[in-house]
A and B are shown apart, each in its own frame.
Chain A
């Protein structure tokens, strides 16, 4: 099973951008799909978007479109999530997760990173 390790905590000013990385172990990076999920303090899980390196495709949740960019670098087995125009409501733990259920209509998240706390504060 693929393991993923994320970059460290970030503190950002409102209006700035943050880029969080997620490095996958093993040789299956190009066979996996990676999603980003965030969790605001005391709140539930919210999907941000995903990337499928094999097909070089990305998809974003409607509410983040225009502010989020997810990329994948096969040479380093790393996916990145960049969120711009940060506001205080973006303060959250951001998780990277691999998707299970390849070839099926349904997908789940079977391996999660440790999470990256992004704090947006003036």
Chain B
């Protein structure tokens, strides 16, 4: 089965760059999407199809792929970026979505 692996937590100081990874065997073929979820809120799409940003999402959020690892990069981190972040792919073999376990971003 398709499994996506994320680190449970990432910490970064304000103004620095946060990098959240998502590992998976087929990730390069499947298109990776990223969601931000603030406490008590619904998830919000911040990056889709590896590196595209929905309208209204700041340019500070970017996505990339290298080998079996996708990375969500948040530049110039702000206190308001503190949230849980989830990666997701669409598994072609089962035609169903798969989510990573989530990463809690802490802004120090």
Contacts and interface: CB of A to CB of B under 8 A. Distances in A.
Q: Please indicate whether A and B come from the same complex rather than being unrelated chains.
A: yes
Interface of A: 35, 44-47, 59, 61, 95, 97, 100-101, 104-110, 112-115
Given A105-B31, A109-B35, A110-B54, A47 B43 contact: no
Given A45-B99, A95-B42, A109 B49 contact: no
Interface in B20-62: 30-31, 33, 35, 42-45, 48-49, 54
Contacts, number: 65
A102 B54 CA distance: 15
A95 to B, nearest CB: 6
Contacts of A47: 96-99
A44 B30 contact: no
5 contacts: A45-B102, A106-B33, A108-B33, A108-B45, A113-B42
B105 interface: no
Interface of B: 30-31, 33, 35, 42-45, 48-49, 54, 86, 88-90, 92, 95-102
B31 A109 contact: no
B102 A106 contact: no
Contact of B48 (A95, A101, A113, A114): A101
Given A95-B43, A97-B43, 6 more contacts: A44-B86, A45-B43, A47-B96, A101-B48, A106-B30, A109-B45
Contacts of B92: 105
Contacts of B30: 105-106
A35 B95 CA distance: 13
B2 to A, nearest CB: 12
A16 to B, nearest CB: 26
Contact of B31 (A61, A106, A115): A106
Contacts of A114: 42
Contacts of A45: 35, 43, 86, 88, 99, 102
Nearest to B54: A110
Contacts of A61: 96
